């Protein structure tokens, strides 16, 4: 967390008062919430009335996908199609597929190119043929795994011709690239606290005025009746300070992180010649704090644990279901071979990152890759042996 966000959080944690209460303490808490809302709106190019506070990015994405779908179908039951890019975060993909299973939605996964960037021709073709059946479109501002910036201006332009609302998950983008809700033309946008140096468990959905959203949570009717639940005044105040600070320092931070990322990318390529950078090669088309590689012959989990033992924290970017590691859906959508996709690592930089951190990674990486490859070879050999020993008739 940013020091200023920590200071605000701890200051407000010792104060009493429910923002929905009418006594003096409640009114003070309400003032804290509304000042935070105004600060968030100013930093993100929105009106205060457009800021719906949530418990994080996942809740905001669920509210956008489910709320927009139900809101649209109330007036036009024929609008059953939800268009999402194939590389969306699971906080968008999973509620979309849940709607298909439980609410009669039809999901269209829009393809991406080898860099992870949305195929606009595919979106255009889909709208030309089925626009009257589309309830909403959701395309992230920037991909969380490979850092690819998406052509949102073109997405919004295409959707506007048909009166279709567009949502974007901008959790990764805020504080790294310019994000202006009004200028974007979007109907809804997701932001989260923990990605910008704020606390976890708080976020917001920016929803334009007049947008019909069916609530996902029901109760006391807070947040325009769209998101019920007692508001966390300390977290909201801290969240607002973090977003404001991150946006104000964005240009300087982005330049510094871009230099670190470029040093990291060059260093990884020199240390492990077979490593493949994923996402756009053009630095201007990817997030400044993101570097994503695949390492042939390695399992991402092995690389992660070995690097963790060396004091380097990173991510595989892959989902793990029921304890079984699976290749990243993002890489598979980009056309990466399944075996190669298993050897993925995402390196993320932030406001605490320094050149010494990059150097520590580059020092540890060659040995880690050698050990992971050796383990991978042994594992494949063992699986092959066990396969040969299967009894006849085994499947």
Is 81 among the domain residues? yes
Domain co-membership, 233 together with 207: yes
CB atoms inside a 10 Å sphere around CB 277: 15
pLDDT digits (tens, 9 = 90+) for 65-78: 999 999 999 889 99
Q: What are phi and psi of 30, to 5 degrees?
A: -65, -40
Is 227 among the domain residues? yes
Is 392 among the domain residues? no
Whether 148 contacts 290, CB under 8 Å:
no
Burial class (CB in 10 A: 0-12, 13-18, 19+), 138: buried
Domain co-membership, 165 together with 263: no
Domain co-membership, 194 together with 104: yes
Q: pLDDT-based confidence at 385, cuts 50/70/90?
A: low
Question: How far is CA 327 from its chain centroid?
Answer: 18
Domain co-membership, 208 together with 324: no
| Helix or strand run (H / E) with residue 151 | none
pLDDT digits (tens, 9 = 90+) for 178-205: 999 999 999 999 999 999 999 999 999 9
Q: How far apart are CA 153 and CA 131, in angstroms?
A: 18
Domain co-membership, 320 together with 221: no
- Is 298 among the catalytic positions? no
Is 348 among the domain residues? yes
Domain co-membership, 80 together with 174: yes
Per-residue pLDDT at 33: 98
Q: How far apart are CA 46 and CA 136, in angstroms?
A: 21
Rounded average pLDDT over 75-88: 96
Is 391 among the domain residues? no
H-assigned helices in 217-345: 233-248, 250-271, 300-309, 329-333, 338-341
| pLDDT reading at 357 higher than 60 | yes
Q: Which of 45-49, 141-145, 221-225 has the lowest mean pLDDT?
A: 221-225
Q: pLDDT-based confidence at 395, cuts 50/70/90?
A: very low
* Average pLDDT value for the chain: 94
Q: How far apart are CA 243 and CA 237, in angstroms?
A: 10
Q: Which of 7, 25, 283, 320 is catalytic?
A: 320
- Which residues in 318-334 are b (16+ Cβ under 10 Å) and which e? beeeeeeeebbbbbebb
Question: Which CATH number do you get for residue 95?
Answer: 3.40.640.10
Question: How far is CA 337 from its chain centroid?
Answer: 23
Out of 198, 231, 248, pick the residue that ends a domain: 248
Per-residue pLDDT at 376: 72
Per-residue pLDDT at 393: 41
Six token digits for residue 244: 């404001």
Closest Cα partner for 192 from 84, 93, 291, 59? 59
Q: How far apart are CA 285 and CA 147, in angstroms?
A: 8
**53 by DSSP, 3-state: which?**
strand
Question: Which CATH number do you get for residue 314?
Answer: 3.90.1150.10
Q: How far apart are CA 271 and CA 296, in angstroms?
A: 14
Is 374 among the domain residues? yes
Count up the domains in the chain and report the number: 2
Per-residue pLDDT at 96: 98
Is 340 among the domain residues? yes
| pLDDT reading at 386 higher than 50 | yes
Six token digits for residue 288: 């400044």
Q: Give residue 344's domain range.
A: 250-382
Domain co-membership, 100 together with 143: yes
Q: pLDDT-based confidence at 317, cuts 50/70/90?
A: confident
**19 by DSSP, 3-state: which?**
coil
Domain co-membership, 80 together with 134: yes
CB atoms inside a 10 Å sphere around CB 21: 15
Per-residue pLDDT at 326: 82
| pLDDT reading at 136 higher than 90 | yes
Higher pLDDT, 323 or 329: 329
Whether 187 contacts 170, CB under 8 Å:
no
Six token digits for residue 50: 């457009």
| Helix or strand run (H / E) with residue 163 | none
Per-residue pLDDT at 391: 43
Per-residue pLDDT at 388: 52
Whether 323 contacts 301, CB under 8 Å:
no
- Which residues in 341-358 are b (16+ Cβ under 10 Å) and which e? bbbbbbbbbebebeeebb
pLDDT digits (tens, 9 = 90+) for 109-135: 999 999 999 999 999 999 999 999 999
Is 216 among the domain residues? yes
Edge to edge, what strands does the sheet with 344-348 contain?
276-278, 290-294, 344-348
Per-residue pLDDT at 381: 56
Q: How far apart are CA 144 and CA 229, in angstroms?
A: 28
* CA angle (3, 202, 257) in 5-degree steps: 50
Per-residue pLDDT at 115: 98
Distances (CA, A) of 1 to 14, 212, 247: 19, 34, 15
Higher pLDDT, 70 or 388: 70
Out of 201, 225, 248, pick the residue that ends a domain: 248
Rounded average pLDDT over 254-266: 97
Rounded average pLDDT over 209-237: 95
């Amino acid at each position: 967390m940013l020091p200023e966000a920590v200071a605000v959080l701890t200051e407000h944690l010792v104060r009493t008062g429910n923002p929905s209460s009418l006594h003096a303490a409640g009114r003070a808490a309400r003032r804290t919430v509304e000042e935070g809302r105004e600060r968030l709106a100013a930093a993100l190019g929105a009106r205060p009335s457009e800021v719906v506070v949530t418990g994080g990015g996942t809740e905001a994405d669920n509210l956008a996908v489910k709320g927009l779908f139900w809101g649209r179908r109330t007036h036009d039951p024929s609008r059953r199609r939800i268009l999402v890019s194939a590389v969306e975060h699971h906080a968008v993909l999973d509620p979309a597929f849940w709607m298909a299973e439980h609410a009669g939605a039809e999901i269209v996964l829009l393809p991406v190119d080898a860099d992870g960037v949305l195929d606009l021709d595919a979106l255009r073709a889909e709208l030309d043929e089925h626009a009257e059946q589309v309830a909403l479109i959701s395309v992230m501002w920037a991909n969380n795994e490979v850092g690819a910036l998406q052509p949102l201006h073109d997405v919004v332009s295409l959707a506007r011709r048909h009166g279709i609302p567009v949502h974007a998950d901008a959790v990764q983008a805020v504080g790294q690239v310019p994000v202006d809700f009004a200028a974007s033309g979007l109907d809804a946008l997701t932001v989260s606290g923990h990605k910008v140096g704020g606390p976890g468990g708080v976020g917001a959905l920016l929803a334009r005025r007049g947008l019909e959203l069916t609530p996902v949570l029901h109760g006391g009717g807070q947040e325009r009746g769209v998101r019920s639940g007692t508001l966390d005044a300390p977290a909201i105040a801290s969240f607002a300070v973090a977003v404001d600070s991150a946006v104000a320092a964005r240009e300087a931070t982005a330049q510094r992180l871009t230099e670190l990322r470029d040093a990291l990318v060059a260093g990884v390529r020199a240390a492990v010649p077979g490593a493949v950078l994923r996402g756009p090669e053009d630095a201007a088309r990817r997030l400044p704090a993101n570097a994503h590689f695949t390492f042939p012959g390695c399992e991402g989990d092995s690389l992660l644990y070995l690097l963790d033992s060396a004091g380097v924290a990173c991510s595989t970017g892959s989902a793990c279901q029921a304890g079984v590691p699976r290749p990243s859906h993002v890489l598979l959508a980009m056309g990466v071979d399944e075996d190669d996709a298993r050897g993925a690592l995402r390196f993320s930089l932030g406001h605490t990152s320094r050149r010494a951190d990059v150097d520590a990674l580059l020092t540890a990486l060659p040995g880690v890759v050698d050990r992971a490859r050796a383990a991978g070879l042994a594992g494949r050999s063992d699986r092959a042996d066990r396969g040969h020993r299967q009894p006849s008739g085994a499947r």
